[in-house]
Amino acid sequence: MRKLTYTITTETGLLDEKYGVTEEQSAKMQECYRAIQEDGYCDIEKVKKLVQQYPHIPHFQNYLTVGYLLAGRVDLAFLANDRLLNQFPDYLFAKVNKANEFVEKKQFEKVKLVLGPALDLQALYPERHEFHISEFM
């Protein structure tokens, strides 16, 4: 058994400083997150505007990817995630989305190319010592 060398938190805003997220932007992210989690819905047009308004925040692009998935537009979700991954190659959710795409396409051997051979958060992000529960899951 391997011992975890990082902390798992439920605190939001873990990466706010890294991406320069303000309190107002964080509130908008929480609103999108709640709509997805509680309602299973994402207002794609609203999120597109947030992506344009805040291009430096990957979370909104991730919500766009999720919104397309929820709307059954898998093709657009894959394209949106590819843009996200190109702009933010270290953003975990973009990597996980890409890994899920490979699983969907039955290209299992490519999953480790995206998530690393160890499939481990600490190996993927050795500089980090704290992860949000959603990243861990």
Res 54: pLDDT: 97
Structure tokens at 10: 């439920």
**Residue 48 host element (H or E):** helix 44-53
Q: CA angle 85-18-132, nearest 5°?
A: 80
What tens-digit pLDDT sequence spans the chain (137 residues)?
666 678 898 988 888 889 999 999 999 999 998 888 888 888 999 999 999 999 999 999 999 999 999 999 999 999 999 999 999 999 999 999 999 999 999 999 999 999 999 989 989 999 998 998 989 88
Following DSSP, what letter does each residue of 69-127 receive, concatenated? HHTT-HHHHHHHHHHHHHH-TT-HHHHHHHHHHHHHTT-GGGHHHHH-TT--HHHH-TT
Res 4: pLDDT: 66
Structure tokens at 54: 């805040």
Res 6: pLDDT: 87
Q: How far apart are CA 28 and CA 60, in angstroms?
A: 9
- b/e code 112-135 from CB counts within 10 Å (16+ = b): eebbeeeeebeebeeebeebbeeb
Q: What are phi and psi of 31, to 5 degrees?
A: -65, -45
